[in-house]
A and B are shown apart, each in its own frame.
Chain A
Amino acid sequence: MRENETIICRCEDITLEEIRACIREGYQTIDEIKRVTRAGMGPCQGRTCRLLIAQELASYYHIPIEEVLMPTFRPPTKPITMGALADAWKESQGGADA
């Protein structure tokens, strides 16, 4: 398969070639790969790439996919503007702008 033309993370444009290079270098979890490549850090927050990366790890390490460690999930589930957060903070302070 032409790994450099196969997209795994659509949001961050990360290819299969980059994911496999990471795994060969010794990265063992979805979270580690996320930190070095940004795969899973885009608008969809990993909904598309998470299982594809899990499959790559499972096949490289010869383990069932059940044993691949899932990443840490944190709020927010989708991008939110700084303005929305700032408005919520102002309102909580009883500010005049709220």
Chain B
Amino acid sequence: MIREIEIFVIGGGPAGLSAALAAASTGAHVLLCERDEEPGGQLVKQTHKFFGSEKQYAGERGIFIAKKLAEEAYQQENIEILTEATVLGIYEDGIVTVLKDGKHLKFHPRKIIVSTGAAEKFLAFPNNDLPGIYGAGAVQTLMNVSGIKPAERVVMVGAGNIGLIVSYQLLQAGVEVACVVEAAPRIGGYLVHASKLARAGVPIKTGWTVKEAYGNGKLEGVILVQLDENWAPIPGTEVDVPCDTLCLAVGLTPLSDLLFQADCHMEYVRELSGSVPVTDENLMTSVEGIYACGDVSGIEEASSAMVEGRLAGFAAAASLGYDVERASREVASARAELDELRSGPMGARIRAGLEKVNEKRGEATC
């Protein structure tokens, strides 16, 4: 049996939930598919407060934003949520297949909104498969979602916001953080997060990387090495840091497998951290009726993901003829909000990445 669907949202993180709520508010019917047990995406483990303006829930903790969005979505009669349901494929004839409770289900949506988020990047160094080496996201899940103390002594790799925030949360959970290691010559994350660590006495070693890990059957320590201005290791600078856990927070990359499958025009854009779809001003990909929003279209903050979701949700609903006038106004205001979020020095990288995407769009249509 193939079920007909109006708007199929893939992924129930901040972008997907916002897209579903926006589309449903116009009267459109939405099916939201979430791989995890509950919707919320990465927000469910974010116990820190958000920045930004009030409209993007500034001052609120991620976990409460997730609860609020999910509750709203469950209350909407025209949103159906499938949890523990993984989208397996988007086929040429527009059929979407899903694995749910061991069953292979088929859907035929009129519009698809892809909000699958991101995956963590990995690093290559000797013994990088020892038990005790994790992505920072996994450690944050163990700690903040499952309530498990994940380690005794951690070395964190990466001084972007994720590395800094997870390090601080580890300290709060009673875990010792030996140091934060950052290959770049400067700290990538916000000063406020770095300062908290510095005040707690955690060294942040910029211009350093992991040379190798060691341990008998499980991680017992890492050898760190300093890098020169060309990112080459400086011999003789090696230090041995005993630890039972190494946390990798070396960046995220868009989880765009489904967009590749659907044959969307994709481009690797380093400012957006990986392969992203070339989208138009409504966040529609090069394939008619397939939209992309949130981290899958370029790694940004959750606040931008929520606004992108709203934009895509209203645009998709309007294209089906739902509440066109209001939806168009909402699309325009979401665009203005995104411009504002991406203004300033912190948004420079994103703006450069989006500029490249726009150029590619021009090339494709010429």
**B87 in the interface (beta carbon within 8 A):** yes
Contact B86 A70 (CB under 8 A): no
Interface of B is mostly: strand
B256 to chain A, nearest CB (A): 9
- Known A47-B255, A68-B268, A73-B261; judge A6-B124 contact (CB<8 A): yes
Contact A6 B125 (CB under 8 A): yes
**B128 in the interface (beta carbon within 8 A):** yes
CA distance A45 to B87 in the complex (A): 14
Interface members, chain A 35-72 (any B CB < 8 Å): 45, 47-49, 51-52, 65-66, 68, 70, 72
B99 to chain A, nearest CB (A): 6
**B270 in the interface (beta carbon within 8 A):** yes
Contact with A along B88-124 (1 / 0, CB 8 A): 1111000001010011111000000000000101101
Instruction: Give every chain A residue within 8 A of B267 (Cβ-Cβ).
Output: 66
Contact A75 B88 (CB under 8 A): yes
**B203 in the interface (beta carbon within 8 A):** no
Give the contacting residue for B88; candidates A6, A10, A48, A76; CB below 8 A.
A76
Residue of B nearest to A78 (CB): B86
B216 to chain A, nearest CB (A): 14
Contact with B along A16-43 (1 / 0, CB 8 A): 1000000000000000000000000000
B268 to chain A, nearest CB (A): 5
- A-B residue pairs in contact (CB < 8 Å), sample of 6: A5-B126, A47-B119, A68-B268, A77-B87, A80-B104, A88-B104
The 3 closest A-B pairs by CB, nearest first: A75-B89, A76-B88, A73-B260
A: residues with CB less than 8 A from B are: 1-2, 5-8, 10, 13, 16, 45, 47-49, 51-52, 65-66, 68, 70, 72-78, 80-81, 83-85, 87-88, 91-92
